[in-house]
Each structure stands twice: as C-alpha cells, then as structure tokens.
Amino acid sequence: MARSRLNADGPGPAGARDLPAVDSVLRTSLAATLIDRFGRTAAVAAVRAAIDSARERGGRRRAADAVALIAQGRLEAAHASRLKPVFNLTGTVLHTNLGRAILAEEAAEAALKAMRHAVALEFDLEGSRRGDRDDVLRALLIELTGAEDATVVNNNAAAVLITLNTLAKGRGAIVSRGELIEIGGAFRMPQIMSRAGAKLVEVGTTNRTHLRDYAEAIDARTGLILKVHTSNYRIEGFTAEVPARDLAALARERGIPLVDDLGSGTLVDLSRYGLPREPTVAEAVAAGVDLVTFSGDKLLGGPQAGFIVGRKDLIARINKNPMKRALRVDKIRLAAIEATLRLYRDPDRLGARLPTLRALSRPRADIDACARRLKDPVAARLGAAFRVEVVACASQVGSGAVPVDTLHSAGLSLRPAALRGAGRALAGLAAALRRLPMPVIGRISDQTLLLDLRCLEDEAAFLANLASLDPVAAATESRP
Ligand SMILES: *Cc1c(COP(=O)(O)O)cnc(C)c1O
C-alpha cells in the first residue's frame, strides 16, 4: 500500500481517519511544552512520526493527547546523550570502554574555564613573540620527568606514530620479538611501524633478547632502537630482556636514538601508595633513553593525551614534522592536562586528589565497609528473586597497566534465588541495571553479577539511582 494514500487528514483505509491531524496534536498543552523544550522543527517531526507509526500499527483511535505523549517519548529518547555517565563497578579502574581516567576536580575546572574564555594558547603574554602551545606544559613535564624537553599529542598511539615517522621514515626500527605488542583494537606495533614508514627490524626471540642481538642488527640504515613496555602481558620463565641502561649505552656508542614506549608511564613511584611498582618516566630518562612516550589517561589519571619527553634536538625534529599539526591537542585538554600535572608537585596529597590513584589505593577495609552499608538496601530493592552477599573480589588497574597484579577489593554479589532460569534472570538484572538513569555496569561471572565497589564514591547517588530499578522486570523480563 502506497504511503502517500495514508493521509491522516483525509480519507484513508479503515482506522486511519481515527487518528488526529498534526495540527490538532500541536494544539495540545503537552505539545506546547515539547516545542518549548526541543524546538518547533523537532517537535513537529516527532508528532508526524508518532502519527505515522500509529497508522502503521493499525490506526486505532487515538486522542491528540495520546499522540503528543508518544511524540514526547520519541523526543526524549532522541535527545538523551549517548555519552551517558555510568557507575563503573566492573572492578577495572581504567576501563578503556568506559573512558579510562576520571579527571580531578582541578582538571575539570580548568577545562571548563578554557571552554568559556579565550586563552593565551599560542600567545606570549610577556613579550611580543608568538607563543607555542607546547609552552603550556613544557616546564611542568621537564620538572616532573627530568627530561630536557617535552611535547604532547593526541594520545600515546600518536606519540609512537610521530616519533617513528620522524626518526625512522624509510629506515629501520629495531625491536625485540618479545615486545611486538598489540594493545587492542588496531594498535599493533608492526602495523604502526609500516604506517609510519619505518621498516621493522625484529631481533631476538619471543622469550629472550640479548644486547648482542641489538648490536648485530644496527647498520647504516638504522633509524632508531625501540623498547616497548609489554603493558598488557608478561613473559615468565626462561626470559631475558635488555635493561634500558644497557641499551642506552649501545645506542649512544653507535649514534642511534633509543626510544622507550612506556605505555602507561607513571610519574610517581606507585609503591608509595601501596601499589605494584611500575617503571617511572623519570627512571627511563635517567637510564639514558633519548625519547620516552606515555599516555595521559592511564595511570597518570588525566585526559587522553600522548607525551613525548627527552632530548631537545629530537623533540625539535618531531615538532617540525607536519604530522604534529594533525595530532595536536586543543585548549580544553591542554588546560586539563596542565591542572593534572600540577597535582604531581604535591605527592602527599596526590592520592586523595587524583581519582585514579584514589580508587587504586583505596583500602580494602574501606571498600568492604561500603559493601556492608549497601547490602541491605540493595537486597530490599531487588526483592526475593535475588540473594545479595558481601564478597571479597579482585580489581584490576586496566588499560594494560600492571597486567598481572590484582588489587584486593570487595563488592556485592547478586545471585538469582531460583536455580531454574538463573542465567536468564541474571542477564535480565544486568540489562535492568544498564537501563537505570545512571547505568550500573558490573561483571557477570560464575552465575553471579558482581558489583565491585572500589570505584563507588557517592553511595547516596547510587541508592537514589537504584530506586528507579523495577525489580519485577529485572527478575522476569528476559523470560519468553
Ligand atoms: C596503551 C599503550 C599505547 C597506546 O596508548 P594510548 O594512549 O591508548 O593511545 C601504546 N603503547 C603501549 C605500550 C601502551 O601500553
């Protein structure tokens, strides 16, 4: 049946004449508030769409008010942000799919200020020369890493790409076979190399690479030696890798730059906060590495960014690469990065101010107490269909940082009371939690939905949000 014949305002097939005209829906008081909230164009389109879909479903008699209500549902659904804030109760603190680090208050404020005002981004307020946007961060990065110079790009993948392209385009880049990482998605070291125009020169074996392997591979066409932090895995057993210090000595002797992709690259000794030790950027610089690359939104706890620190002459070459313009960072992020880095000047209070570090270093007893407080209200909300228990669990850092070590944590395990249909009930509960005004994301394992409470700071907001949960729907919705 041709759609053009189905006109709600004129004669049509059976039932269509029972639908209100667009104009009469727009005269309702609800439509007036919709026009006010969403604008006339969107409101009229939603009313038309509501009438069309009612007609397609058989055109039962509908009052103008009822159609306006359907239009409201459509507008609200279309208007909701796709970038919804969620409760990350997965137990993975730096969850790439959930946006990695949560920024410090200081960083959020700085970003907001930069959004609202013109800023001295490439403008020297003290002199007449044109400023450089790297000046905003250069001094701080030098201070915190001990490097000669520093620059910043979009993310660490970009930092690796531009470094390889600048120093090894059309030349060889020597890497150990034990460090040819895939970070996830399309970030595989061999592919990044080829996109950067560098020729991959693999040395050593998967488990053992020696200094002589690097030394023998160096020739007139070598552009650089690359050391890669094996962020998301660990090779154990009969292994050998060459320490940065020894590689640096070889690189210096042969006049070839040594680059270390540290991945997460923390700026402080994490053992100070009771966490597993990770190599720091300053240590790599002190070991004699020429350029170190690392991420802004992993352990560092800032916004997405990629840092390159090291030798002044090499940083100058990177800054002259036309790619730099394509990979540069905007004023909003620069403001947030600057505020985040500034917090590192006061390591004593860093653990309290930086949300990533606060979550990672949160004592187990504290998380356990939170679980005990929430157990009864959560159980009451879920009803008899689910059993709620306080359990010990293990969190992880995430984003490939500190891959093997886990952190003692605590949480709530939500388990269907009935064995029959338990799998479906669990999936239904997970789905109902994901549909809350602020979706709650846990992890399902071993017939329970686990809510790891390490990253939960605002318990009151969590409970207020949970009040919207429909426990009956949660328990039954996925039954056929
Ligand atoms: C995470 C990581 C990258 C990519 O960093 P992004 O900031 O996510 O682009 C590159 N190299 C290593 C070793 C990493 O761990």
- Please give the distance, rounded to the nearest whole angstrom, from the Cα atom of residue 214 to the centre of ligand 1: 23
Supply the pLDDT for residue 181. 81
Secondary structure of the chain in the HEC alphabet? CCHHHCCCCCCCCCCHHHCCCHHHHHCCHHHHHHHHHHCHHHHHHHHHHHHHHHHHCCCCCCCHHHHHHHHHHHHHHHHCCCCCCCEECCCECCCHHHCCCCCCHHHHHHHHHHHHCCCCCCECCCCCCECCCCHHHHHHHHHHHCCCEEEEECCHHHHHHHHHHHHHCCCEEEEEHHHCCEEECCEEHHHHHHHCCCEEEEECCCCECCHHHHHHHCCCCEEEEEEECCCCCCCCCCCECCCHHHHHHHHHHHCCCEEEEEECCECCCHHHHCCCCCCEHHHHHHCCCCEEEEECCCCCCCCCCEEEEECHHHHHHHHHCCHHHHHCCCHHHHHHHHHHHHHCCCHHHHHHHCHHHHHHCCCHHHHHHHHHHHHHHHHHHHCCCEEEEEEEEEEECECCECCCCCEEEEEEEEEECCCCCHHHHHHHHHHHHHCCCCCEECEEECCEEEEEHHHCCCHHHHHHHHCCCCHHHHHHCCCC
Q: If you take atom 1 of ligand 1, which residue's CA is the nearest one? A: 263
Q: Which of 98, 187, 234, 292 to mutate to test the pocket of ligand 1 (most atoms within 8 A of CB)?
A: 187
Q: Which residues contact 349 (CB under 8 A, 6 or more apart)?
A: 343
Compute mean pLDDT per 10 residues along the chain, 480 residues long, and list them.
42 59 95 96 96 79 88 92 94 95 98 96 82 89 98 97 98 94 79 94 92 96 95 80 95 97 92 89 98 96 98 98 97 97 96 96 97 97 95 90 81 94 92 95 93 98 94 54
State which ligand 1 atom lies nearest to the alpha carbon of 400.
Answer: 15
Q: Is the CB of 308 under 6 A from ligand 1?
A: no
Give pLDDT tens digits for 419-475.
898 999 999 999 999 999 999 999 998 889 999 999 999 999 999 999 999 766 666
Give me 8's structure tokens.
């709600």
Q: If you take atom 15 of ligand 1, which residue's CA is the nearest one? A: 263
Q: Is the CB of 260 under 6 A from ligand 1?
A: no
State which ligand 1 atom lies nearest to the alpha carbon of 297.
Answer: 7
Give me 465's structure tokens.
């949000």
Residue 413 Rama label (left phi>0; alpha psi -120 to 50; beta): beta
d(CA 412, CA 56): 46
Residue pair 203/214 in contact (Cβ under 8 Å)? The answer is yes
**Closest CA relative to residue 271, chosen from 354, 361, 404:** 361
Q: If you take atom 13 of ligand 1, which residue's CA is the nearest one? A: 263
Q: Is the CB of 163 under 6 A from ligand 1?
A: no
Q: Which of 261, 294, 304 to mutate to test the pocket of ligand 1 (most atoms within 8 A of CB)?
A: 261
Supply the pLDDT for residue 471. 64
Q: Is the CB of 183 under 6 A from ligand 1?
A: yes
d(CA 23, CA 457): 49
State which amino acid sits at residue 226: L
Q: If you take atom 3 of ligand 1, which residue's CA is the nearest one? A: 263
Q: Is the CB of 59 under 6 A from ligand 1?
A: no
Residue pair 440/87 in contact (Cβ under 8 Å)? The answer is yes
Residue pair 289/227 in contact (Cβ under 8 Å)? The answer is yes
Q: Is the CB of 327 under 6 A from ligand 1?
A: no
d(CA 343, CA 349): 8
- Residue 394 φ/ψ, nearest 5 degrees: -125, 125
Q: Is the CB of 229 under 6 A from ligand 1?
A: yes
Task: State the greatest distance between any 2 C-alpha atoms of the chain, in Å, as a whole number.
Answer: 90
- Please give the distance, rounded to the nearest whole angstrom, from the Cα atom of residue 157 to the centre of ligand 1: 6
d(CA 478, CA 480): 6
- Residue 310 φ/ψ, nearest 5 degrees: 150, -145
State which amino acid sits at residue 434: R
Q: Which residues contact 281 (CB under 8 A, 6 or more apart)?
A: 144, 145, 147, 262, 265, 266, 267, 292, 294, 307, 309
Beta pairing class for 448-452 and 443-445? antiparallel
| Sign of the Cα pseudo-torsion (31, 32, 38, 42, in order) | positive
d(CA 459, CA 358): 16
Residue 26 burial (10 A CB sphere; 0-12, 13-18, 19+): buried
* Rg, Å, the chain Cα set: 28
State which ligand 1 atom lies nearest to the alpha carbon of 96.
Answer: 8
Q: If you take atom 14 of ligand 1, which residue's CA is the nearest one? A: 263
- Please give the distance, rounded to the nearest whole angstrom, from the Cα atom of residue 215 to the centre of ligand 1: 27
Q: If you take atom 6 of ligand 1, which residue's CA is the nearest one? A: 156
Q: Is the CB of 261 under 6 A from ligand 1?
A: yes
- Please give the distance, rounded to the nearest whole angstrom, from the Cα atom of residue 35 to the centre of ligand 1: 46
Supply the pLDDT for residue 475. 60
Q: Is the CB of 227 under 6 A from ligand 1?
A: no
Q: If you take atom 12 of ligand 1, which residue's CA is the nearest one? A: 263
- Other C-beta atoms within 10 Å of 426: how many? 21
Q: Is the CB of 155 under 6 A from ligand 1?
A: yes
Give pLDDT tens digits for 178-224.
998 877 667 788 899 999 999 999 999 888 999 999 999 999 999 99
Q: Is the CB of 280 under 6 A from ligand 1?
A: no
- Please give the distance, rounded to the nearest whole angstrom, from the Cα atom of residue 213 to the centre of ligand 1: 25
- Please give the distance, rounded to the nearest whole angstrom, from the Cα atom of residue 156 to the centre of ligand 1: 5
Supply the pLDDT for residue 474. 61
Q: Is the CB of 94 under 6 A from ligand 1?
A: no
State which ligand 1 atom lies nearest to the alpha carbon of 261.
Answer: 13
d(CA 181, CA 234): 11
State which amino acid sits at residue 465: N
Q: If you take atom 2 of ligand 1, which residue's CA is the nearest one? A: 263
d(CA 398, CA 123): 38
| Residues in the chain, total | 480
CA angle 280, 283, 284 (to 5 degrees): 90
Supply the pLDDT for residue 403. 61
